[in-house]
Structure 1
Amino acid sequence: MTLIARGARRTWLATTLRIGILSLGALVMVAPFLYMVSISFTESTYVLTTPPQFIPDPATLANYEQALMTQGLPLAFANSLYIAAISTAVSLLISSMMAYAFARFSFPGRELIFRILLVGLMIPAVMLLIPQFILAKHLALLDSHLGLIVFYVAGSLALNTLLLRGFFEAIPGELDQAMQVDGANAWTRYWRLAIPLARPGLATAAIFTFFASWDEFAWALTIINTPELRTLPIVIRLFAGAGNNAVQWGLVFAASVIAIIPVIVVFLAFQRHFVQGLTSGAVKG
């Protein structure tokens, strides 16, 4: 009985310690976000007080009203949403077809081509800014949303193909053979068999691609000059640089909170499949 009691006590202590460490880690990660939200509801006079206040007193919506009334923010929000949605859809379509080909077809140089594709994951994006700019100039893609979409899609293909190939390889080959016997061609097998069974992988790729396109700043700042074509990260950066170097943190954080809303919506929409997508297909192949 004593041994059982000691074992139960050790289990309880281990569980309590684990929960305490995880809670502390979660608090450390969430605290900056909570502080940002707090400042977004704080009057400019009380911003960056010491010690920091996580509960604004007094609270105000003036920062949100000013952000929404700013001419560039609503248009930039729409631009970013449009670009991120199109980039995600096109990237998923192309990368899923590529992944299905790598997983289901045998052709000369298949593994070599796949490894060359993966080299793109090893190159920092900032190193490609100048070559991309020269290429975009020759293709007449500068100062356009198409220039953003094309390079966002190209930049996401390697990771998405890697993720989805593992899912397609996990689908039993007998299912493909059965559909072939019934007369289904490659497109039918891809669209009606592979895509429905790879939903967790598609959800994971969709989240990664949308986040990358929505948050991207360097490439958009490099090629976009027309104010009407600016994306949300650029406009938020302009908020931070306004006022003779006196950063309006309340306005910046209010705009940042608005920018987070689509990210939260997309994650909640696909979070059912997200963990499964990371822990199954992503480690195969």
Structure 2
Amino acid sequence: MAPAYLDQSTVTDGVPRPRVAHLQPGDGPDQWLGQRPDMYQTDWAPRPRRRHRRRGRGRSVVVVVTAVAAAAGGMFAVSRADRPATAPVAIDAAFSSVRPAATAADRRPARASSAPAPRTKIGTSASTPRPSSTPRPPRPVSGLSQAQMNNAATIVRVARDRKLPRRAMLVAMMTGLQESSLRNLANPKVPASLDEPNEGSGENFDSLGIFQQRPSQGWGTAAQLMDPRYAAGAFYERLLRVDDWESRSLGDAAQAVQRSALPGAYADHEDRAAEVVDALL
């Protein structure tokens, strides 16, 4: 009678299988009594499981299956045991943030701009500010303040706009120095004048402004007379109405326009008026 033999083998995952006894035909049931192998005993000690490697393989399978499902545009779910889950999971959103592969055009280097760089003059800086178009205020002369000098500049500017000679400027400047010291004065007797920009106030009748012109005498409204440019223009209009103003003395020409109670006072400012006018021409 042929003896029986044992088959020992293991599965590929490293877990040993139990031994199996193979009997030949004709063997009695009691022949191997007491020698029957333990079906649950292994022939060697089991190998320690490499958990990290096993988990890594499982994750790799899940990633591969998920990528294939995403490419097919379908919905698929894989459980940890590599079996389909009972509830489908949408996977399109998982790859929505993935950037597409760069194309050949994206990998091309950016071309340098062909626009020429702005030219800068030698000895200057690109950050140097441009000069302002606003003219600088005139430098005060003859003891005048900046506000007084600004009013004097307005008197000269209006005359030049009207193409009037220097003599007309001197007559107007002497008048302004005598009447208000070249200040734009308001008057409490004319309340509207107090709402306009001013450099003080006076109380001579209803006289206003640099030339102390009176609204009641037809020189203009309070707002107009408190405007130095308007006041200078109104003075020149009255001066040009005097037929012989150019042949008269400067003081007499000013008196012919103003009709002041002190007719000789204007001549006292002739030298100072000439200094101011010449500084502005």
TM-score, with structure 1 as normaliser: 0.19
TM-score, with structure 2 as normaliser: 0.19
Higher gyration radius (CA): 2
Higher relative contact order (CA 8 A, sep 6+): 1
**Higher helix content, 1 or 2:** 1
